[in-house]
Amino acid sequence: MMQNIAFIGVGVMGRSMVRNLMKNGYQVSIYTRTKRKVLDVIEDGALWCDSIAECVQNKDAVITMVGFPKDVEEVYFGEHGIIQHAKPGAYLIDMTTTSPKLSQRIYQEASAKGLFALDAPVSGGDVGAKNATLAIMVGGEEAAFNACLPIFEVLGKTITYHGPAGSGQHTKMANQIAIAGTLAGVCEALAYGKAAGLDLEKMLTTISSGAAGSWQMSNNGAQILKGNYDPGFYIKHFIKDMTIAAEESSDVQLELAVLKNVLSMYQELAKAGLEDLGTQALIKYYEK
Active site residues: 172
Q: What is the pLDDT of residues 15-69, one digit of tens each?
A: 999 999 999 999 999 999 999 999 999 999 999 999 999 999 999 999 999 989 9
pLDDT number for residue 5 = 98
149 and 9 within one domain: yes
Q: Which of 165, 189, 221 is the last residue of a domain?
A: 165
Give the number of domains in the chain. Answer: 2
159 and 176 within one domain: no
246 and 107 within one domain: no
Q: CA-CA distance, 225 to 227, in Å (whole number)?
A: 5
Q: Which of 108, 131, 165 is the last residue of a domain?
A: 165
Q: CA-CA distance, 288 to 281, in Å (whole number)?
A: 12
pTM, to two decimals:
0.94
Domain limits for position 260: 170-287
Q: Which of 131, 165, 199 is the last residue of a domain?
A: 165
| Confidence bin at 126 (pLDDT 50/70/90) | confident
Q: What is the mean pLDDT of residues 190-200?
A: 98
269 and 206 within one domain: yes
Q: What is the pLDDT of residues 74-121, one digit of tens each?
A: 999 988 999 999 999 999 999 999 999 999 999 999 999 999 999 999
CATH for 279: 1.10.1040.10
pLDDT at 2 over 90: no
15 and 54 within one domain: yes
How high is the mean pLDDT of the chain?
96
Higher pLDDT, 263 or 11: 263
Q: What is the mean pLDDT of residues 138-150?
A: 98
Q: How many helices (H) and strands (E) does the chain have?
A: 14, 9
C-alpha distances (whole Å) from 226 to each of 69, 139, 215, 220, 279 are 33, 38, 16, 10, 14
pLDDT number for residue 288 = 74
CATH for 8: 3.40.50.720
pLDDT number for residue 232 = 85
pLDDT number for residue 78 = 83
Q: What is the pLDDT of residues 207-248, one digit of tens each?
A: 999 999 999 999 999 999 999 999 988 999 999 999 999 999
190 and 149 within one domain: no
Helical ranges in the chain per DSSP H? 14-23, 39-43, 52-56, 69-76, 82-85, 100-112, 125-131, 142-155, 167-195, 200-208, 215, 221-226, 235-251, 257-271
